[in-house]
Amino acid sequence: MTTKQEAAEAVLAAKTRLGLSWAQLAETLDAPLAWTTSALLGQHPVPAELAAKAAQVLELNTDAEAALRLQPTRGALDDVVPTDPTIYRFYEVLQVYGPTIKELIHEQFGDGIMSAINFKLDVSRREDPGGERVVVTMDGKFLKYQWG
Amino acid sequence: MTTKQEAAEAVLAAKTRLGLSWAQLAETLDAPLAWTTSALLGQHPVPAELAAKAAQVLELNTDAEAALRLQPTRGALDDVVPTDPTIYRFYEVLQVYGPTIKELIHEQFGDGIMSAINFKLDVSRREDPGGERVVVTMDGKFLKYQWG
Amino acid sequence: MTTKQEAAEAVLAAKTRLGLSWAQLAETLDAPLAWTTSALLGQHPVPAELAAKAAQVLELNTDAEAALRLQPTRGALDDVVPTDPTIYRFYEVLQVYGPTIKELIHEQFGDGIMSAINFKLDVSRREDPGGERVVVTMDGKFLKYQWG
Amino acid sequence: MTTKQEAAEAVLAAKTRLGLSWAQLAETLDAPLAWTTSALLGQHPVPAELAAKAAQVLELNTDAEAALRLQPTRGALDDVVPTDPTIYRFYEVLQVYGPTIKELIHEQFGDGIMSAINFKLDVSRREDPGGERVVVTMDGKFLKYQWG
Amino acid sequence: MTTKQEAAEAVLAAKTRLGLSWAQLAETLDAPLAWTTSALLGQHPVPAELAAKAAQVLELNTDAEAALRLQPTRGALDDVVPTDPTIYRFYEVLQVYGPTIKELIHEQFGDGIMSAINFKLDVSRREDPGGERVVVTMDGKFLKYQWG
Amino acid sequence: MTTKQEAAEAVLAAKTRLGLSWAQLAETLDAPLAWTTSALLGQHPVPAELAAKAAQVLELNTDAEAALRLQPTRGALDDVVPTDPTIYRFYEVLQVYGPTIKELIHEQFGDGIMSAINFKLDVSRREDPGGERVVVTMDGKFLKYQWG
Amino acid sequence: MTTKQEAAEAVLAAKTRLGLSWAQLAETLDAPLAWTTSALLGQHPVPAELAAKAAQVLELNTDAEAALRLQPTRGALDDVVPTDPTIYRFYEVLQVYGPTIKELIHEQFGDGIMSAINFKLDVSRREDPGGERVVVTMDGKFLKYQWG
Amino acid sequence: MTTKQEAAEAVLAAKTRLGLSWAQLAETLDAPLAWTTSALLGQHPVPAELAAKAAQVLELNTDAEAALRLQPTRGALDDVVPTDPTIYRFYEVLQVYGPTIKELIHEQFGDGIMSAINFKLDVSRREDPGGERVVVTMDGKFLKYQWG
Amino acid sequence: MTTKQEAAEAVLAAKTRLGLSWAQLAETLDAPLAWTTSALLGQHPVPAELAAKAAQVLELNTDAEAALRLQPTRGALDDVVPTDPTIYRFYEVLQVYGPTIKELIHEQFGDGIMSAINFKLDVSRREDPGGERVVVTMDGKFLKYQWG
Amino acid sequence: MTTKQEAAEAVLAAKTRLGLSWAQLAETLDAPLAWTTSALLGQHPVPAELAAKAAQVLELNTDAEAALRLQPTRGALDDVVPTDPTIYRFYEVLQVYGPTIKELIHEQFGDGIMSAINFKLDVSRREDPGGERVVVTMDGKFLKYQWG
């Protein structure tokens, strides 16, 4: 059985070999960019129709295609504190601004959380006189603490 | 000497006692909402003029006002993996979507990172038919890996 | 300012001194048993009216009453792996049955989670020929993984 | 020798290939649903007769069948704090409600624990106006602290 | 409120000041030696009558006596791997002989565990030509894995 | 070169295949039960004569026999806190009773430790009206702290 | 697909086999010494032209050459605290002088950091009457904390 | 007895109150800048004469002055991985460039290390068209691995 | 009750105030140098007569003297990996030479260990043309692995 | 490429097969005993001439011989706290006597460390009426803390 991790590696290899971008793959699948990326990296089950499309464009074998459809056990970081600088900066944001985000969610919504399940993510580029900027938007349903 | 941590506790106590919101404090300081919150929680040095305004509206003593102005040693989480559910969800986003964010930054910008220093954060509320949503926007300068 | 932790200690001391049970406190507050217990132990903000009732019956001072109303930073275990045997058994259940629970949630509901926010808990006693049994029921809304 | 972990992977692969559900497997084995799931995932030794039935319906080879019968070394989580969101929520329940469960067990039963050995687990679905709910029931014998 | 930890320190101080041994305290309480020691060190709730006797002979105040009666949150080691050599040797026994003990319990009893709740402990001295020996006996009820 | 770990796995496979018990193996080797078990599991070097006997009865090849004779690097637990419930209970005993054992060793012997090297272990079964009991006896030479 | 780790191992093997030094490789690539070393060790993506030159001089196959060009997931230490003495000394410098460096950066530049992205590194040798000295120079752009 | 940590806090408080810079303190002590900073922060014993000068200019009491002279137990980071971004970047340098530094030291010097004891550190500012830069120079004696 | 830790701090303060060396204290107690140091630092119980002598020469009060006599819970390092460079080097020796020491003990003595209980330690100074050298001698009884 | 770890395993296998001792190998190489052992275990680079001699007497292939010559990344323990009892005792010595060694080094030499680089180690056997003793001597150059 091909694992989702092995399928993700096959995706990355094919993507590089074929010169495809995530944006092109998302367009092919007619799915959101960040969802497409995380699903092909193994963090979401891919619906059968999309898995078939992905397998076709990425020239994956049927085992890899089947693996894309599997339910994942999620969690993609090898270390509790990530070592890759591009990923670490978001951990640093949590260290510096975590309690700020918590205060503002509670002030604006009351006691509860931003869902990471009913959730979408976007990464985009913004031009600015001071240099181009990375804009990451996290958009999750507010879940109020309620007793059943 | 009052520490920044003690000053943050004094801010929280005064804010509760006086019935002030972070939004009101940000307006008083004429500063961005999330910056105001994190600065008063001790994660940024507060410029003298703003520290004076904050001390006045929050009825802080001069020691606490001085502490607000100090350079912080940043890092606000007691545990490497945060236990509070409101904060944890952002760690979960990192576990599930960290490599996705990394892939998309590299695809859109090349080799580099989103700065967490030249950086701004916003937490806002969006109404949606499916229920209100928390929208967290992280906006940081792209820093390209370059050798000196 | 009295912290929620100090208020919880005051609750426990008063409860022992006055010979009250959690069941009696829950009845006084007209609130679910497990919610009452966890809220008075500092894991939930207590609404003003209930905090007043709790303060009256437990003879708490106004600082402790105010602390009960505060928004908590949740997380009650001192160690990542709990050392107390009564609590540890639930960690062991997670070690032995975690993947089982995951499989069955996915089989019965699809890709998603049991909410720990829109959630209620019950601890009850069941007589059995083989000896009395502890029955813990966790009842949380199913949250489907959905992209925004 | 096939390990229990390898047998569990063979079970999962066969279950997917043959389109079987845990419910069907439990019915085939005439055993409780959650027990069947955890036993086939390698957390319990499977009695010879049931292992034979499981091997037949899942078309496992005799090595895998033998592995199902082995005594396990239990513990199914790769990380001390689980990263998969579906499993993590139960760890969060422990963080937020662990001391509550402890207080209520002691109030209702005296000094002791809920057994995780003489124990059964159920995962079920409850329809609710607010959306379907996951109900996890843990039912373990009360074990009183007693000296020999 | 005096904590169980503070009561344990008061017990140790009084025991040293009054020149009492654990054996004498166990005799006074008419209770097993190891139970008496662990209970006075704060790992068991002490029944009212015994707490009164202990308080009398150790000249403890009523707050400490009340603390002895409290339900403990158990777990006495400051570090996951104990540093004190006398205690460490038992951790080493677990490292070297843990799987051996597991194999022999399963061979002699089937799938299950030795209870650490319905359990008694004894530490005694045995003379031997090769020098005196420490004999620690752990005696716990066998708990068979059974599904409810 | 066959490692001691691989030899232990070969022992377990052969023992299951041939339907042998640890008790039978101990009898064959004319060696204590727990020693035999831990030695064949790789935690002790097996003297040449006994390794030959073990290899014969377990039908091991000469590489495995050689491995049994090797000096081990001891330590059999994969995790600092063991996850298997049968082994964990002994860690729990250490958490709850560690300081008790220390106090009683010091009271009965003075400053020193129970040796885990000049040491023997026994696991036996005791019938009791309340149900059968596991009795684990640790018997180690007392080593007095002495300066050279 | 050859990983960057495997490519790095191929580089080291070829470098040893061919008797090349990092200085010669840097000269061949016409790139800074430390950049060349870290890039060939897998911590930077190597531009196509340089990867081709490196592959030629090191006689690497095209898979390894392709791996050199890949975007890395950075982080080269196996342990959080490095065990190799040559690397550990720099961790020790951080333990002893970390707060000193922080104080001096803030005194000389204000609130901000030294970039580790817009950054260059040099390792050189300085003769000294007391013996030759290692001089490591870290040169990173100052990044001022600024809100967007 | 005043600890070195308390003396360091007194130094920081006085430095802020009196408006002194580390550069001015280094000039007063006629000592290198980074040495002065780390010594006054408690990481080096301060010679009597310099401690007296520091106490005078910083208006410290004699207890603090005595503490400055004490031999320290070194190590200034609260967490194994530092959370403060200014300090973290140097840990990141170690993660990304540690093996590079090791390779180059061995290539230029042979088997050995850069001493962190016979060592000096400098933090300086360099103007650059691309923006001002932080230059940290570590200069330590090469210590060759040699057997006695 | 004065703890052994507080007594150790009182010893260090008095030693500094009175200008005494460990060598002088050892001579006063007529005890080995390293034993005296570790005992006064709280790692050994001090016999009554020596505690009295130590209290006299160090002008300790009777509480501190009593604390010196107490049985310690040993273990003096705050961190699992020590941060102080003087202590760390011995951990490094263990990292680099641990298996070497193990091999040589087994080659010279058979299966067993060097006792750390029946053990003495010496730290001395040796002049050498290449500079003075620290010589640390660990001398412990060989304990053969033997079964009871 | 053969790694140093694989070469060490080949050394151990050959040493066992050929019945050689470390003492004989040290004699063959005309090198100190402990150096020979640690070098052949992969913790030191072996000079070409000695690697050739070792390869000849141990009948190693040229890949293993080449590996012996490689520069190692040092650090031989799999766990931060070693589990093997023979090695652990030295960690225990550090826990119990670490601060003692530090005090005595500072008293006899001033502020500095024992080098673990300019360092030699010896393990020897001493007969004693109370039983044979392991004597481990660590002899390292004193390195004075000095600023460049």
Confidence of residue H148 (pLDDT cuts 50, 70, 90): confident
| ipTM of the complex, rounded to two decimals | 0.95
The residues on F that touch J, with CB distances below 8 Å, are 1, 66, 70, 72-75, 77, 116-117
Q: Averaged over B39-54, what is the pLDDT?
A: 97
Q: Are residues C12 and C62 in the same domain?
A: yes
- The full DSSP string for chain C is ---HHHHHHHHHHHHHHHT--HHHHHHHHTS-HHHHHHHHTTSSPPPHHHHHHHHHHHT--HHHHHHHHSPP-----SSSS--SHHHHHHHHHHHHHHHHHHHHHHHHH-SEEEEEEEEEEEEEEE--TT--EEEEEEEEEEEE-B--
Mean pLDDT of E33-38: 98
Query: Residues I106, I109, I112, I118: is their CA dihedral positive or negative?
Result: negative
Q: Which of E135, E143, E7, E147 is nearest to E65 (CA)?
A: E7
Q: How far is residue C117's CA from residue C74's CA, in Å, rounded to a whole number? A: 12
CA J41 to chain centre: 8
* Host domain of residue G26: 4-69
Give the bridge partners for J126, in sequence order: J133
What is the pLDDT, as a whole number, of residue C104? 97
User: Residue I134: inside a domain, yes or no?
Assistant: yes
- Whether A78 is covered by a domain: the verdict is no
Chain-centroid distance of CA C3 in Å reads 18
Query: What are the beta bridge partners of residue D122?
Result: D137
- Choosing from E17, E89, E103, E124, the catalytic residue is E89
Place of tokens 């400098």: H122
A65 and A92 in a single domain? The answer is no
In terms of domains, do G62 and G93 share one?
Answer: no
* Count of alpha carbons within 13 angstroms of residue D91, beta-carbon side: 26
Residues, chain C, total?
A: 148
* Cβ neighbour number for residue A89 with a 10 Å cutoff: 25
Say yes or no: D8 and D64 in one domain: yes
| Confidence band for B110, pLDDT divided at 50, 70 and 90 | very high
Q: Is the pLDDT of residue E136 over 80?
A: yes
Residue at a domain's end among D69, D95, D125: D69
CATH of the domain at B10: 1.10.260.40
Query: Does any domain span residue I76?
Result: no
3-state secondary structure of E59: coil
Q: Are residues A61 and A95 in the same domain?
A: no
CA distances from E24 to E18, E51, E58 (A): 11, 15, 11
Burial of A126 (0-12, 13-18, 19+ CB in 10 A): exposed
* Residue C79 resides in a domain: no
Residue C92 designated active-site = yes
Helix, strand, coil share (%) of chain J residues, nearest 5: 50, 20, 30
Are D62 and D97 part of one and the same domain? no
pLDDT of residue H79: 87
- Last residue within a domain, chosen from I36, I69, I102: I69
Catalytic: which of H27, H49, H92, H103?
H92
Sign of CA dihedral D101, D105, D111, D117: negative
- Residue E76 inside a domain? The answer is no
Q: Are A62 and A94 contained in the same domain?
A: no
F50-92 per-position pLDDT tens digit: 999 999 999 999 999 999 999 999 999 988 999 999 999 999 9
Q: What is the mean pLDDT of residues J121-142?
A: 97
Domain-embedded: residue I74: no
What's the pLDDT at C8?
A: 97
Q: What is the pLDDT of residues C123-140, one digit of tens each?
A: 999 999 999 999 999 999
I92 is catalytic: yes
User: CA–CA separation, I33 vs I22, rounded Å?
Assistant: 7
More confident residue, A1 or E110: E110
Please indicate, yes or no, whether residues H54 and H99 belong to a single structural domain of this protein. Answer: no
Average pLDDT for A22-49: 97
Contact E84 I77 (CB under 8 A): no
In this predicted structure, the answer to whether residue F1 has a pLDDT above a threshold of 90 is no
Same structural domain, C63 and C97? no
Q: Are G85 and J1 inside 8 Å of each other by CB?
A: no
Same domain? F10 vs F45: yes
G-chain residues within 8 Å CB-CB of H135? 137-139
Question: What angle (nearest 5°) sits at the alpha carbon of residue G74, between those of residues G73 and G78?
Answer: 110
Choosing among I6, I9, I11, I16, which should be mutated to test the H contact, i.e. which has the most H CBs within 10 A?
Answer: I16
Q: Do I147 and F112 touch (CB under 8 A)?
A: no
DSSP per-residue codes, B31-72: S-HHHHHHHHTTSSPPPHHHHHHHHHHHT--HHHHHHHHSPP
Final residue before a domain boundary, out of J44, J69, J94: J69
Residue E65 CB contacts under 8 Å (≥ 6 apart), including other chains: E51, E52, E54, E55
Using a CB–CB cut-off of 8 Å, the residues of C that contact F are 81, 83, 85, 88, 92, 95-96
Mean pLDDT of G22-27: 98
Q: How far is D14 from chain B, CA to nearest CA, in Å? A: 27
- What pLDDT score was predicted for residue C120? 97
Looking at the structure, tell me whether residues A24 and A62 fall in a common domain: yes
Strands of the sheet containing H112-126, edge to edge, are G112-126, G133-144, H133-144, H112-126
Which residues, 6 or more positions from G136, have their beta carbon under 8 angstroms from its beta carbon? G90, G121, G122, G123, H101, H114, H137, H138, H139
* C-alpha triplet H24, H30, H35: angle, nearest 5°: 80
- Convert G72-109 to b/e letters by CB count within 10 Å (16 or more is b): bbbbbbeebbbbbbbbbbbbbbbbbbbbbbbbbbbebb
Strands D133-144 and E112-126: unpaired
| Same domain membership, residue D63 and residue D11 | yes
- For residue D85, pLDDT over 90 is answered with yes
Taking CB atoms and an 8 Å limit, are E81 and J81 in contact across chains?
A: yes
pLDDT tens-digit map of E93-125: 999 999 999 999 999 999 999 999 999 999 999
**Closest by Cβ to B83, choosing from D83, D85, D95:** D95
Point out the residues of D that are catalytic.
89, 92, 115
Statement: residue G25 has pLDDT above 90: yes
- What pLDDT is recorded for position A78? 87
The two structure tokens encoding residue C102: 């995951």
CA–CA dist A25, G126 (Å, integer): 53
For residues H85, H87, H89, H92, the Cα torsion angle rounded to the nearest 10 degrees is -120
pLDDT single digits (tens) J68-90 = 999 999 999 988 999 999 999 99
What value does the mean pLDDT of chain J take?
96
Return the CATH number at G118: 3.30.1160.10
Assess if residue H74 is contained within a domain: no
A126 — phi, psi (to 5°)?
-125, 125
Q: How many structural domains is chain A composed of? A: 2
* Within a domain: B76: no
